[in-house]
Copies of this chain bind each other. A is one copy, B any other.
Amino acid sequence: MINASPDLRQQIEAQPFIQPRQGLRSSPIEGVMLTGADVDAIAGLLHLRERQPFTVYGSDRVLAVLEANPIFDVLARDCVRRERVALNAPFEPRHVDGSACGLEVELFDVPGKVALYLERGSSPADLQGEPGDTVGVEVRARGERLIYIPGCAQVTERLKQRLAGASVVLFDGTLWEDDEMIRLGLGPKTGARMGHMSVSGDKGTMAAFRDIPVRRKIFVHINNSNPILLDDSVERRLVMKAGWEVAYDGMEVSP
C-alpha cells in the first residue's frame, strides 16, 4: 500500500527489476526453503499471501508447525503447495509450471534449538529439539556447491565434512560474542541459549572454519548488536582478515 506520487512512479518505472514480471502482483519467487520454525524464518511467508503460486519446502518438523498454525492458511492451499523434504536426501525443485529448475537441493540437520515460542522447558534436552527443527540447505548446480546455514549452535565433525570444498558458504553471524545481548542490555540470553555460536572466540565460527577449505565464506543473519555490521569496525577488519565477507541487503552471489 503505497502512495504513488508522480516522482515515485518515475522511480519505479526506471527500475524494472522491482516491477512484477507477470500481471499486477507476481513475484519471481517460485520456491521457499524453510530452515526452521522461528519467526525470522517463517513470518516472511505472511507477506507472500497474494495468490501467486509457489512451493514451500521444509522438514517434517517445520511443516508440522505451519500445519498447526491457522495464520499460515492465508497462503491458499490451491495456490501455495507445501512439500515435505526428507533430510539428507537430494531433490530437484520444480518451477510452478512443473519444469525442472536445474538445481539439486538437500536439507540437512544442524545443531540448533526449537523455535523460541515453542519452548516447553529450559533443560538442554527441551531446548535441543529434534532433527529437522534447525536445518541447513545445500544447493548444487554445474559442479558448484552453495551451503546456507543461518542458525547453528556448533560446527560438528559431520558438518565440517559437508562444508569442506563448498564453493560458497552463507553462515550464522548472529553475535560477535556469546554475552553480547546481556552486556548491551538487550535481553537476558546468551547466544548459546538462543542456539547460535558466536563469530569470535576459541569456540567461535572463525576458529571453527580455520581448517575447512571453502572458496567464499559469508556471514548472514547478523544481529544488530554485532559490530561486524559496521564497515569501519575493528571486528569487521578481523573477519575480513580471516577471509570472511559480511552480507548486505541486495547482495548477489555468484560462485
Which A positions have Cβ atoms within 8 angstroms of B? 1-6, 9, 23-25, 39, 43, 46, 49-51, 69-74, 116-118, 184-187, 221-225, 229-232, 246-249
Cβ contacts under 8 Å, A25 to chain B: 186, 224
B232 contacts A39, CB within 8 Å? no
A1 contacts B225, CB within 8 Å? no
Give how many copies assemble into the complex.
2
Cβ contacts under 8 Å, A221 to chain B: 1
Give the distance in Å from the alpha carbon of A70 to the alpha carbon of B115 in the complex: 10
B184 contacts A3, CB within 8 Å? no
A46 contacts B39, CB within 8 Å? yes
Give the distance in Å from the alpha carbon of A1 to the alpha carbon of B69 in the complex: 26
B1 contacts A73, CB within 8 Å? no
A183 to chain B, nearest CB (A): 11
B3 contacts A246, CB within 8 Å? yes
Cβ contacts under 8 Å, A72 to chain B: 117
Query: Given that A69-B70, A74-B116, A117-B74 are known contacts, is A3 also in contact with B39, CB under 8 Å in the complex?
Result: no
Closest A-B pairs by Cβ, 5 of them: A3-B248, A73-B117, A74-B117, A43-B46, A70-B117
Cβ contacts under 8 Å, A224 to chain B: 1-2, 24-25
A79 to chain B, nearest CB (A): 10
Give the distance in Å from the alpha carbon of A223 to the alpha carbon of B116 in the complex: 33
A41 to chain B, nearest CB (A): 12
A231 contacts B4, CB within 8 Å? yes
Q: Which residue of B lies closest to A117 (CB)?
A: B73
Give the distance in Å from the alpha carbon of A68 to the alpha carbon of B28 in the complex: 34
Give the distance in Å from the alpha carbon of A184 to the alpha carbon of B22 in the complex: 12
Give the distance in Å from the alpha carbon of A186 to the alpha carbon of B25 in the complex: 7
A24 contacts B231, CB within 8 Å? no
Max chain B CB contacts within 10 Å: which of A9, A51, A246, A249?
A51
